[in-house]
Structure 1
Amino acid sequence: MAGALDHIGIFVADLDTAIPFYRSLIGQGDPVLREVPELGLRLAFFTNQGGLAIELVESSGKSEMRPGDVVVALEVDDLEAEIARLRDEGIRAYHQKPTENLPLHRGWITKGDGHGTIIELCPKGDVARFVAGEAG
């Protein structure tokens, strides 16, 4: 089953404009930046605010996500088993395979299927390793 929160993702229109705002709001230095051109994503992870990571996402690719949308990312022990369990319960959950610049296998419940909320299913510790440059 899905467990604790892994991180929160916030879609923004322009990452370069959003970073100073969130840096001022959070007050804990510069974020870790990651580019995922194959998915049209630019990411900024604030990890030093004393809690869960806050991810800012700029998307230039095809996506149902719009600025202001929030992704709730939950930890899972076994991604395959969790996606199978959710599907058995009639919940549409999808795989997202790793890419060259985002070497994480994750699961998703879309905004349409998640009652207006996007749910990301993350194998425990994978996102933290990616942010630290240890994944892939």
Structure 2
Amino acid sequence: MMLQQIDHLGIAVNSLDEAIPYYENALGLKCEHREEVASQKVRTAFFECGQVHIELLEPMSEDSPIAKFIAKNGEGIHHIAFRTDNIEGQLKQASDNGVRLINEVPVDGAGGKLVAFLHPKSTRGVLTEFCMPK
């Protein structure tokens, strides 16, 4: 069991339609795909930059975690996601070391992955995600 690499950086935005042109035009990245993740109440857009992806996150409703984040912090970096080959093992390792889990079991996430989050109060203020292809 081990983390394999940084998978993506999640960035909260009010509107994908307004944010995507910045990444495409000013930075020269290409939007690979857009996806709706109903379980997280979010619409996503992904850009590849080397081995790491940028995931834009647009809230689907006012009660979504992303909407709450934007209301409190404004648009910006929301989380860092690490790819793992054993998401359950990573959660156990984190929990065994006193880290508070947001997800005790993985849930379906964007891109056909299983995801689980660690609470930022236990991770020095950084919302941390583990992700693993299904």
User: In the TM superposition, what is the alpha-carbon distance from 1:37 to its structure 2 partner?
Assistant: 3.1
The two structures have a TM-score, normalised by structure 2, of 0.77
Q: Name 2:26's counterpart in structure 1.
A: 25
Distance 1:3 1:23 in 2: 27
Q: Which has the larger share of helix? A: 2
Distance 2:113 2:50 in 1: 24
Q: Name 1:98's counterpart in structure 2.
A: 108
User: In the TM superposition, what is the alpha-carbon distance from 1:15 to its structure 2 partner?
Assistant: 1.2
- Name structure 2 gaps, 5 residues minimum: none
Deviates more, 1:103-112 or 1:10-19: 103-112
Give the share of equivalent positions with the same residue, in percent.
28
Distance 1:122 1:43 in 2: 15
From the superposition, tell whether residues 112 and 69 of structure 1 become closer, same or farther in structure 2 (CA, over 3 Å): farther
Q: Name 1:74's counterpart in structure 2.
A: 82
From the superposition, tell whether residues 77 and 102 of structure 1 become closer, same or farther in structure 2 (CA, over 3 Å): closer
Q: Which has the larger share of strand? A: 2
Corresponding residue to 2:124 among 107, 115, 124 = 115
Q: Which amino acid aligns with 1:119?
A: T
What is the root-mean-square deviation of aligned Cα atoms in Å? 2.3
Q: How does 1:39-78 map to 2 (within 5 A)?
A: 39-47=40-48, 49-59=49-59, 60=61, 61-63=63-65, 65-66=69-70, 67-78=75-86
When the two structures are aligned, how many residues end up with a matched partner?
Answer: 123
User: In the TM superposition, what is the alpha-carbon distance from 1:38 to its structure 2 partner?
Assistant: 4.1
